[in-house]
């Protein structure tokens, strides 16, 4: 017997994604003045592949094409674009973008927590017998 529906599991993975994104945005904001720091982001595709447990490999039709692989990092799905500079010191953090991403992620996280709270409240109502 399965106690929780797939929705709770999906919400759990979405909360993990939002948490990882929050950590990366916080790191970017903390390093806004660090010379040669490259801003990071969380790739939804990489996190989705990790959650699904599948390796979505693109087919190379020619050996001269680039490999479709990413470097491993501590947080799943974290990517860095090393060829971008917004500041003269080599830093690639755009503070306005990071603050907008932070607000967007906070709204996303709040929506997820509201949804999972609703699921648990429904479960609690069932356990209490509808009272």
Mean pLDDT of the chain, nearest integer: 80
Query: Which structural domain, as residue segments, surrounds residue 111?
Result: 8-128
27, pLDDT greater than 90: yes
C-beta of residue 31 within 8 angstroms of C-beta of residue 37: yes
The domain total for the chain is 1
Phi, psi of 119 (to 5 degrees): -65, -45
Let me know if residue 1 belongs to a domain.
Answer: no
Q: Has residue 43 got a pLDDT over 90? A: no
Q: Give the helix/strand (H/E) hosting 42.
A: strand 40-42
51 within a domain of the structure (yes/no): yes
Query: What are the b/e assignments for 12-23, b being 16+ CB within 10 Å?
Result: eebbebbebbbe
Of residues 87 and 67, the one with the higher pLDDT is: 87
Query: What local confidence, expressed as pLDDT, does residue 100 receive?
Result: 96
pLDDT at position 1, please? 44
Residue 3 lies in a domain: no
Percent of the chain with pLDDT over 70: 76
87 occurs within a structural domain: yes
In a domain, 95, yes or no: yes
pLDDT of residue 99: 96
């Amino acid at each position: 017997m399965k106690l929780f529906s797939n929705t709770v599991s999906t919400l759990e993975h979405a909360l993990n994604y939002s948490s990882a994104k929050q950590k990366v945005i916080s790191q970017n904001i903390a390093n806004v003045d660090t010379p040669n720091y490259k801003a990071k982001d969380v790739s939804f595709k990489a996190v989705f592949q990790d959650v699904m447990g599948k390796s979505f490999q693109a087919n190379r039709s020619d050996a001269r094409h680039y490999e479709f692989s990413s470097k491993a990092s501590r947080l799943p799905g974290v990517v860095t674009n090393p060829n971008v500079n917004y500041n003269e010191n080599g830093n690639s953090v755009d503070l306005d973008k990071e603050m907008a991403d932070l607000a967007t992620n906070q709204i996303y996280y709040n929506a997820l927590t509201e949804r999972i709270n609703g699921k648990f409240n429904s479960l609690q109502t069932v356990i209490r017998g509808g009272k």
